[in-house]
Amino acid sequence: MAGRLIVISGPSGSGKTSIIRRLLDRVDIVFSVSATTRPARPGETQGVDYDFVTTDEFEEMIARDALLEWAIYDGNHYGTPSDPVEAETAAGRDVLLDIEIEGARQVRAQRPDALMIFVSPPSTEVLWQRLRSRGDTSSRDIASRLKIAESQLEEAPRLFDHIVVNEDLEHAIDDVTDLIIGS
Ligand code: 5GP
């Protein structure tokens, strides 16, 4: 049986990355390594966290139709290479995509059967507090991310199969695990 495509999306500060990290330890699922033009951050490994590419290389992938979806986020290109996703799902393995909402829209249009999960902060107030306490985001960036988050929270119920509210990290991890194992 073919593996499933599982999409996890959510605003910056929703806790999505922490949930995904823990999920990968628990559930037998392959993480889809995206291509991006953003520079690697300290601690990130080429080919593991991302395939770090130049803008020319990324544009070449678009021209070859090699991406299942792609989007520009915060000035950088991000995209999911199709071949590994096809190969893993054909081999019966579930594949997890950690992508932003524009990419999620594209996956929804192409793969209506994908399992799509949106991680939501409990409120925009909590999101504001989390972004502030991370200390890596300027006030102007926080304001613009909050605006983006508000419009995503509004659209999420129409686009996603499930919304997991991350009020408590352990509960949210359990909820996402149950959705993937139980469906
Ligand atoms: P970061 O730069 O913090 O690693 O990721 C920024 C955003 O890009 C996150 O919301 C992440 O989910 C999203 N992202 C990562 N890879 C992809 C991808 O392949 N496609 C799309 N559309 N978004 C991605």
Which pLDDT does position 74 carry in this prediction?
84
Query: What would the mean pLDDT of 150-167 be, rounded to a whole number?
Result: 94
Query: What would the mean pLDDT of 119-138 be, rounded to a whole number?
Result: 85
Backbone angles phi, psi at 114, to 5 degrees: -60, 145
69 lines ligand 1 (CB under 6 A): yes
> Which residue is listed with tokens 């500060």?
13
69-127 residue pLDDT tens: 999 998 999 999 999 999 999 999 999 999 999 999 999 999 999 999 999 998 888 88
DSSP string, 84-115: HHHHHHHTT--EEEE--HHHHHHHHHH-TTSE
Nearest alpha carbon, ligand 1 atom 19: 79
Q: How many Å apart are CA 45 and CA 175, to the nearest integer?
A: 29
pTM of the model: 0.93
Give all domains of the chain, ordered by start, each with its CATH number.
Answer: 5-182 (3.40.50.300)
Query: What would the mean pLDDT of 31-46 be, rounded to a whole number?
Result: 95
- Gap from CA of 97 to ligand 1 centroid (Å): 9
